[in-house]
Chain A
Amino acid sequence: MKLKKNIATSESGFVFNPSSGDSFSLNIIGAEILLQMKESKSSDEIKKDILNRYEVDKSLLEKDWDDFMAQLKDNNLLEF
């Protein structure tokens, strides 16, 4: 799962897709994931970091991860 290269993201959770003109807002976790994806970290690395820092169990994060990736895909933000 790779974020499209031209997607602009901010630490506060604002996302802009210059090719479509769409803008999005993310919650804190969403923003963290997107920023780390932009740094080309692997999904395992990102999940490990979140598990270390947040009060969440692995199975819930795994489920939420799939759901979030599906949302990013629906919004045309991922590379095929």
Chain B
Amino acid sequence: MSKLKYESPVIKKMNAGLMNKFGTRTEYQPLKHIDGVAVKDMIAKYGSPLFVLSERKMRNNYQAALRAFKTRYPKVQFAWSYKTHYNNAVCNVYHQEGSWAEVVSGFEYQKALKNGVPGNKIIFNGPDKSIDELNEAIKNDSLIHIDHFDELYTLIELSEKAVKKPRVAIRVNMDTGIYPLWDRFGFNYENGTAWNAITKIVASGKLNLVGLHCHIGTYMLAPWAYATAASKLCDLAWHAKNQLNNPVQYIDLGGGFPSANTLKGAYLPGSDTVPHIEEFAEAIASTIIAYGFKPDELPLLILESGRALIDDAGYLLGTILANKRLSDGRRATILDFGVNMLFTSFWYDHKISPAQDFTHHSEDQVLYGPLCMNIDVIRESVNLPLLNKGDQVVVHKVGAYNMTQWMQFIAMRPNVIMIDMKGETHLIRQKETLQYLEMPEEMPLHLKEFKL
């Protein structure tokens, strides 16, 4: 006779009083499969912890976002935000869908070129572009988004020797009614600096002003802020055309669209509060169309969305290492992944599901990572079923920023796999090894030997 399934014994005091309006449970279903592939099989094959990306979800997200904008505005182009996730396999999913590349550093620029993105379809953003990087971007006819006057004057100097006239845009910062105001990037709209930069570019005759760019923030929850931003960029474009006779070809509204993750301290879960991408599309497209451009003079609308296109396509699978009880009686669960791998747990209360069946008993608990650091907390308080050592869990919506901001600290970075459209798994980044870690290290001769 087979034995009964065991669960740790638990006792819970019943409190009389008001019902919790959010219910008493946070998780009702185990997540045993992702895109039809069993979680336990993936962990058995690739180890734990393990990042899993769904190609299907990425493509669906992209197509839904493109449809949201294209049904409202005639000329739309997405540019994949490399900093959000620059694994080449991931980038190529979006390039296959038609995305250009949006990069903020020299190595991201090289990655985009190596991935096969034509130079003239790479947008080069950010405050740090070296002389060599700028020269290469000019040679490749890339779209250089100028961040500050020092860069503007450098480009004018470089253009003297360049064969091609650099194609540039300026990044504009502005008050859109939201806090914080990201005025550290680009030129300010309200105080006239942006207009000043535009006139300097046009007057120089050395640079080709082709676009205007802004990026008003991150995880933005206010579609109307994008309407304000679009209106201010349209105002600059309008004046550039009418006063300087320099019509711009595109307006780039950047990214910052949220995913459905729940921000720490939020009263309601992200899935209930985050506006749909359609609402952002409506705010932006209707503002530009209503501004007054002739139909054949409408600028191309560029979007650099990253998080909204990939966050919910990423999962982190992990295993319970241990349970313990803290001094105040709270249950603590130790996982085999920590903040070193799940950087976004500093910002989000990630949804976490058990990957196997469980009973209806649950307990409030703290989820810790395996690092010897007090800050290694994945969830300060979460109501989860009782998980035993060796049980597996799935963290949801981890596709954005984790696999670029992760830290090699105490533990090595784990395998990353992608599930393709047919349900096949592919290793897209191998887990790190000691050999990989020590590859760039050098040992001075006098330190090679010691006696203890």
Query: Which A residues contact B (CB, under 8 angstroms)?
Result: 15, 22-30, 33, 50, 53-56, 60-61, 64-65, 67-68, 70-72, 74-75, 77
Contact = CB atoms under 8 A, between A and B. Distances in A.
B3 A27 contact: no
Contacts of B361: 27
Nearest to B322: A63
Instruction: Name, among B9, B10, B12, B329, the residue most crowded by chain A CB atoms within 10 Å (CB to CB).
Output: B9
B6 A71 contact: no
Nearest to B324: A67
Contacts of A27: 7, 9-10, 359, 361, 386
Nearest to A25: B12
Interface of B: 2-14, 323, 325, 329, 359, 361, 386, 388-389
User: DSSP majority for the A interface?
Assistant: helix
9 contacts: A25-B12, A26-B11, A26-B12, A27-B359, A29-B8, A53-B4, A61-B6, A68-B10, A77-B11
B9 A74 contact: no
Contacts of A72: 11
Given A26-B11, A29-B9, A60-B388, 6 more contacts: A24-B13, A25-B11, A28-B359, A53-B3, A54-B5, A68-B9
B154 to A, nearest CB: 64
A77 to B, nearest CB: 8
B6 A56 contact: yes
Nearest to A32: B9
B55 to A, nearest CB: 37
A23 B15 CA distance: 8
The 4 A-B residue pairs with the shortest CB-CB distance, nearest first, are A30-B9, A56-B6, A27-B361, A54-B6
Contacts of B12: 24-26
Contacts of A68: 8-11
B9 A64 contact: yes
B325 A28 contact: no
Nearest to A67: B325
